[in-house]
Amino acid sequence: MPSVKEKQVEKQIHLIKIESPINGTIISVGDQIRLNIKLLNEQIIPDSLVLYLDNERADKLNDLSYSILTQDYNLGTLDIKVTAWKNNQRQSSSVSVAIKSKNVPKKLSYKLIKTYNHDPKAYTQGLFYHNGFIYEGTGQQGASSLRKVELETGKVLQSANLGQEYFGEGIALLDGKIYQLTWTSGIGFVYDSESFKKLHSFSYSTQGWGLTTNGAELIMSDGSNTIHFMEPNGFAELRRIEVYDNTGPVRMLNELEYVNGKIFANVYLTNKVVVIDPKSGEVLSEIDFSNILKSSDKNGDEDAFNGIAYDSINNRFFVTGKNWSKLYEIRIEN
C-alpha cells in the first residue's frame, strides 16, 4: 500500500512545458539543440528541473534554457524529457526529435560488365552469391521459393517452395545455413545450404524485407528506415540503427548486402542503392541504376528494381529486379 509521500508524488501537477524544440524537429548531427522550457504558472517555480535524454539522466537544469550537444548521439530519434519537482510532486514534459546526417551522400557510378539471363517469373526478394552460384529468394503468395541458380544460364538447379500461405522475402547465408524471411507472417525459415532441407523456423515482430549478414549477426530491414541486428540462433534483436542522409530518414529499405564493412540497400520503388555505415546509420554514398534495364531487355512484366549480391573473390556485384529477364554483373566505381 503506497505511503502518504508516494500518494503525493502520484498526484497530478502542472508545472512546465517544453516550448522548443518542437516535437518531430530534424537536426543535423553536431548541431546544438536549444531547449526552452515554459512555466505554466509563473507564480509556481519548480524546486528542481532534471533533463533526461533517451531515458538516461543527462543533467540538472539551473534555468529554463539549455543547449543539448548532439555529436555524441546516434542518428535517429532522440527522446527529450524534462521532469519538474515541486513540494515532492513531479510533472514531466517530453518531445522527440530526429538527428540526421550533415553530409551529402557521395554519388558512385558503376560499369556494366556482363548480362545474364534471369527467370522473368522470379519475383526477386533476396539475392546472394556463393561458390559460383546465385541464390535467390522469391516472393508472391503461393509462388515463393528459395533457389540455387546457375549464373551463366539462369537455370534453376535447386529449389524449395515456402507454401501457399507465405510471401517470401530476404535471404542470407551464415555458417552453412540459409535464412529466409517472410513478409507479414512474422516467421522465417532456416535451411541446410546444401540440401535445402528445412531445419527449423524463427519468429519476429516486424515485417520481413531484406536480410544479410556480417558473418556474426543477421541484419534485417523491415520496410522502414530501421535496420535490425539479430542473433542468428534465436533471432533475438541485439541492436538497431536508424538510417538517415542529409535530408532526413531513408525509408523503404529493402534487399540488403553486407560488403567490406558497409551495408548496401535497395530503396524500394526507386532505382537507387544506398551505402550505409552499420554503426551510425549514416548514408555514405548512393548509386543510381535508372539506366541499367535496357529497352531490349524488357518483357513488359517488370516490377521494382530489387536484388544485390556480391562476389568477394572477384570484387563484382550482381543486380536485378522483380520479374526482370536479366541479371547484371557490374563493378562499382568511385
Residues 170, 62 share a domain: no
Chosen domain end from 100, 122, 148: 100
Confidence at 228, pLDDT banded by 50, 70, 90: very high
**Tens-digit pLDDT profile for residues 74-91:** 999 999 999 999 998 999
**Could you give the CA distance from residue 239 to residue 259 in angstroms, rounded to a whole number?**
19
Residues 164, 81 share a domain: no
Residues 141, 221 share a domain: yes
Provide the domain count of the chain. 2
When the pLDDT of each residue in the chain is averaged and rounded to a whole number, the result is: 93
Residues 247, 161 share a domain: yes
Tell which wins on pLDDT, 116 or 297.
116
The dihedrals phi and psi of 200, each to the nearest 5 degrees, come to: -170, 180
Rounded mean pLDDT, 50-71: 94
Chosen domain end from 100, 119, 134: 100
Q: Are strands 56-61 and 133-138 parallel, antiparallel or unpaired?
A: unpaired
Rounded mean pLDDT, 264-291: 96
* Domain interval for residue 237: 106-333
Q: What is the pLDDT of residue 332?
A: 95
Rounded mean pLDDT, 183-207: 96
- Per DSSP, the three-state class of 183 is coil
Least confident residue range of 134-148, 191-205, 286-300, 314-328: 286-300
Task: Tell whether omega for the bond before 21 is within 30 degrees of 0, i.e. cis.
Answer: yes
Given a cut of 60, is residue 19 above it in pLDDT?
yes
Q: What is the pLDDT of residue 295?
A: 86
Extract the C-alpha cell encoding 57. 539522466
Q: Taking a C-beta distance cutoff of 8 angstroms, is the pair 229, 246 a contact?
A: no
Residues near 151 by beta carbon (within 8 Å), at least 6 away in sequence? 116, 129, 132, 133, 134, 327
Query: Which of 226-241 are b and which e, b meaning 16 or more Cβ less than 10 Å from the residue's Cβ?
Result: bbbbbebeebeeeeeb
Q: What is the CATH number of the domain that holds 291?
A: 2.120.10.30
Residues 250, 199 share a domain: yes
**Could you give the CA distance from residue 301 to residue 323 in angstroms, rounded to a whole number?**
6
Q: Taking a C-beta distance cutoff of 8 angstroms, is the pair 275, 283 a contact?
A: yes
Q: What is the pLDDT of residue 3?
A: 52
**Tens-digit pLDDT profile for residues 248-262:** 999 999 999 999 999
Q: What is the CATH number of the domain that holds 53?
A: 2.60.40.10
Given a cut of 60, is residue 2 above it in pLDDT?
no
Q: How far is CA 257 from CA 75, 104, 194, 318, in A?
A: 21, 22, 21, 11
Residues 152, 209 share a domain: yes
Residues near 29 by beta carbon (within 8 Å), at least 6 away in sequence? 70, 71, 73, 75, 99, 100, 101, 102
Chosen domain end from 100, 131, 156: 100
Q: What is the DSSP letter of 185?
A: S
Residues 275, 162 share a domain: yes
**Tens-digit pLDDT profile for residues 152-181:** 999 999 999 998 999 999 999 999 999 999
Residues 116, 64 share a domain: no
